[in-house]
Amino acid sequence: MKHINFTGIILSLTVILSACASPTPVAPTDTPLPPPTDTASPPTATLEPSSTPDPLLFRDDFEGALDEGWAWTNENNKYWNLTTNPGWLEMSAQPGYIGDGTVKNLLLRPIPTGNFELETKVIFAPKGNFQIAALVIYESGPNFVQFGRAFCGPCPTKDGFYFDMFVDGVFGGQNFATAITSGDTVSLRLRREGNKYTSYGSLDGADWQVIGTHQTDMNPGFVGLTAAQANGSQPGPAQFDYFIINALP
């Protein structure tokens, strides 16, 4: 009969059971873990786009009354009004010229500083020699430029855009006559850049063409509108829809 070593078996089972037992849990530490490091970049401020400067210096839509700042030269109130066609300034061309001081109802306001551009829309149908409805940049009677729709019998163009300059009472350069082939309504722009004056004409207020450029060292003090030089047959009245001054760089 074999002798069984119970002591060895018991020791072996003890070793096996010890290996299978759960490990002793580790007591938690009281020291808190450091917070995670924030590596994110700070947000970038959103930059607002720079606003585009408003070029508009002045606008009169001729609604009910003339805006402040206008002044008449040789006014005859029988020949202008704001009521026949509400929202339009109506001026009847009368005999007389800016150059010799005989013009009637020359409407002026102080000139802005720096470079600028004038704009208007006008309904006008000139019928006789030199009748004109125009934008004006004015120093004095002998010194001014005017750009508008006019009629010139001796000119091949007849009815058209005309850009005139007078220096010391003498007509200077050319008139840049450009024919208008249809319609009584035109839009006019007259730009000043230093001593350079450039005119632009349009039949629809959208497509513009350069009419001509004059240069003069006059020192103008006023800008405005005229309907004049009706020394022969009487044309229909000029009707101006608005008057705008825009600043230029």
Domain hosting 238: range is 56-247
User: Can you give the pLDDT at residue 182?
Assistant: 87
Q: Based on the structure, what is the number of domains in the chain? A: 1
226, 103 Cβ separation under 8 angstroms: yes
Closest CA to 146 of 222, 81, 78: 222
pLDDT, one tens digit for every residue, the chain (249 residues) = 444 443 443 334 343 334 434 444 444 445 454 554 555 555 555 555 555 568 999 999 999 999 999 999 999 999 999 999 999 999 999 999 999 999 999 999 999 999 999 999 999 999 999 999 999 999 999 999 999 999 999 999 999 999 999 999 999 889 999 999 889 999 999 999 999 999 999 999 999 999 999 999 999 999 999 999 998 788 899 999 999 999 999
Q: Distance between CA 156 and CA 165 in Å, rounded?
A: 20
185 in a structural domain: yes
User: CA 32 to CA 187: how far, in whole Å?
Assistant: 80
Residue 209: CATH number of its domain:
2.60.120.200
Q: Which amino acid is at 33?
A: L
* Secondary structure (3-state) at 149: strand
Q: Is residue 165 part of a domain?
A: yes
Q: Is the pTM of this model over 0.85?
A: no
Please report which helix (H) or strand (E) contains residue 172, including its range. strand 170-172
**Considering the domain boundaries, does residue 124 fall inside one?**
yes
